[in-house]
Chain A
Amino acid sequence: MKLTKFGNLLAIGLALGIAGVGCKHKPVAVTPIPGARTGAVGEAGAGNSIGNGTDNTDRGASGGIAANAPGSHAGWPEDAETLKADSVHFDYDSSVVKSSEKSKIEAVADYLKANPSVAVRVEGNCDERGTAEYNRSLGERRALAAREELVGLGVDASRVDTISYGKDRPVDTGHNEDAHARNRRDDFVLLTPSK
């Protein structure tokens, strides 16, 4: 085996040698570098306009309460203050609503029942631990968990939107556990129909 391998190497060496000798005194080949790969990046948003994708009204699927069509509450003035004290906090790497946090969701449900024209957007957030897209999924799962609780308390699902900001919108930019605990949260933003 060893001999064969050596023989092969020798043969290839000879072949390369012959080829090498053949090339030695020729002028070196000139390789033009095509400019295609350096082409300019087109202006974002030029060309086709951004429109709605496909049908988004699939509400029949099991395994979750179907989301509202995107833009259902587009243009509704936002109020992030009224329910600010009711932000729900989560354990590390968890989207389970703790029993200690349920009273806040009940307060949000009560507000929605008392004000039947308004809707709410649940914004899921994470601390800085964890990679970006992991946090974006976890944040959405946290928002969905609060939505499930609200629906369980009798709020119509059509009045609750969700969004995830992952780790992109911390309320505390510190790097300690206090900051992390504050950032692992759902915020409730009221949406009021425009007049």
Chain B
Amino acid sequence: MKKYHCFNRLFIAAGLLGLTTLVQAQNDDAIRLSRNTEPGNTPPIWVSMSGFTGEAAAVLQFDLYVQGFGFTNANGAQYLISGSNNGNLEGRVMDHFNKNALVSKAYSGSTLRRQAHAFADDFVQALGRKGIGQTKIAFVVEGGYGKSEVYVADFDGHGPQPVTRDNSLAAAPCWVPGRFAVYYNSYKLGNPAIFSHDLSTGARRTVAWYGGSSISPAVSPNGRKVAMILSKDGWTDLYVADADGSNIKRLTKSPEDESSPCWSPDSEWICYATKIKERRALCKISASGGSAQRIPTSGVPNPTEPDWSPDGQWIAFTAQRGGFEICVVKAEGGEVTELVAGEDPSWAPNSRTLVFSRRSGGGHLSVLDVPTKQVKDVARVSSGVNSQPSWAR
């Protein structure tokens, strides 16, 4: 309640100075933000941190680093972060420039780890951005030859929990937007089929089980549709159905191998990888049908595994020369920015951080802040290769 009291005061103060001022200032912010988020070429926002120890300090450093903050001493910092973590966490953030307190909060309940994630989120949100500290990822863990299971964990890899225990092949998990539920494909029934899995109840349903292979599910942002790759009609084509698998519709009829669909944030378009005139390419097609349109990715060979950012601006994907490169391109296509080595990127809800996989070090996941190119490795499930991450959003 106290929090709202202060918030009201801010509004009253802003109201006194006139609403137009506030609106205009927001527009200026928007311009500044877009200029400051050029992929791979943006300096970090400098912060200093004092008073935190151990796990709390580590969580704050991780969370802020992968959202574009850099750590320096108090003299060089734009924001001064201070606090303590004796039992519960207390934290403050001051703007070094105008000495305003951006955040001043104490936390209780759950774990210290989660309190630190919440404080990081409160700071990031005070800057008008979306915090990702309390988000989840799903991914695949290999477990011996031709075996793999789906896991979920905090976005930094902590608290991993197995979703499947089928002793089969499970692959390509994707989240149902806004719900604690995932879709994935599993070979549990013999040939690969697509399942939905409610993570709260454990209830699992078959969404698509056809002859051949039913693979690569992607649930639309509005939760109503699922895009997938099926070979039931004799070619590996892109299909769309209602979220439960009914009302299936074939969107492509191409002898090439379509793969790895993803959705535009308005649930109108599906982007996928295919082959055009013997060259790999990204395309998009209306979810209600029509002709495919190429998304140019100039100069980059073998684009696959696209993921459309939740703000609609970017498509992240994997390019392949000798190794794999994480790339981003404007959603309409064009000049590609190659970022770091890795494959299979998935956007965080903030449309700036990606989780992706690397085959080095036994196969692990990393997170990348696209504007600054800052990377941190995610805690690994040690039993096998970790791959195919999907960020809950």
Contacts and interface: CB of A to CB of B under 8 A. Distances in A.
Contact of A29 (B105, B159, B305): B105
B130 interface: no
B234 A67 contact: yes
Contacts of A66: 211, 232-234
Interface residues of B, number: 108
A130 interface: yes
B104 A11 contact: no
Interface stretch (A12-20, A81-89, A107-115, A178-186): A12-20
B67 interface: no
Interface stretch (B49-57, B255-263, B328-336): B255-263
A116 interface: no
A98 interface: no
A47 B200 CA distance: 11
B3 A29 contact: yes
Nearest to B256: A141
A137 B259 contact: yes
B216 interface: yes
A67 to B, nearest CB: 3
A39 B114 CA distance: 13
A17 B98 contact: yes
Nearest to A24: B101
A41 B164 CA distance: 10
B108 A32 contact: yes
A117 interface: no
A184 to B, nearest CB: 13
Interface in B1-38: 1-3, 5-6, 9-10, 13-14, 16-18, 21-22, 24-25, 28
A37 B320 contact: no
Interface in A147-170: 147-148, 161-166, 168-169
B253 A63 contact: yes
A85 to B, nearest CB: 22
B25 A132 contact: no
Interface in A8-58: 8-9, 11-20, 22-24, 26-35, 37-48, 50-54, 56, 58
B86 interface: no
Nearest to B25: A8
Contacts of A169: 145-146
Interface stretch (B39-47, B185-193, B368-376): B185-193
Contacts of A138: 257, 259
Contacts of A7: 21
A131 B234 contact: no
Given A11-B17, A41-B161, A44-B164, A19 B10 contact: yes
A146 interface: no
Among A51, A70, A131, residue most surrounded by chain B Cβ atoms (within 10 Å): A131
Nearest to B95: A16
Contacts of A64: 231, 233-235, 237, 255
Nearest to A75: B190
B90 A44 contact: no
Given A33-B118, A42-B199, A131 B106 contact: no
B311 interface: no
B294 interface: no
B197 interface: yes
A16 B10 contact: yes
Contact of A130 (B148, B162, B197, B302): B302
A74 B209 contact: no
Interface stretch (B165-173, B284-292, B347-355): B165-173
Contacts of A195: none
Interface stretch (B58-66, B73-81, B244-252): B244-252
Closest 9 CB pairs between A and B?
A64-B234, A42-B202, A67-B211, A47-B203, A137-B259, A46-B202, A19-B10, A64-B235, A141-B257
Interface of B: 1-3, 5-6, 9-10, 13-14, 16-18, 21-22, 24-25, 28, 90, 98, 100-101, 104-110, 114-115, 118, 122, 134, 136, 140, 145-146, 148, 152, 159, 161-166, 169, 171-172, 180, 188-193, 195, 197-213, 215-216, 229, 231-237, 245-246, 248, 250, 253-260, 273, 280, 302, 304-305, 318, 320, 324, 343-344, 387-388
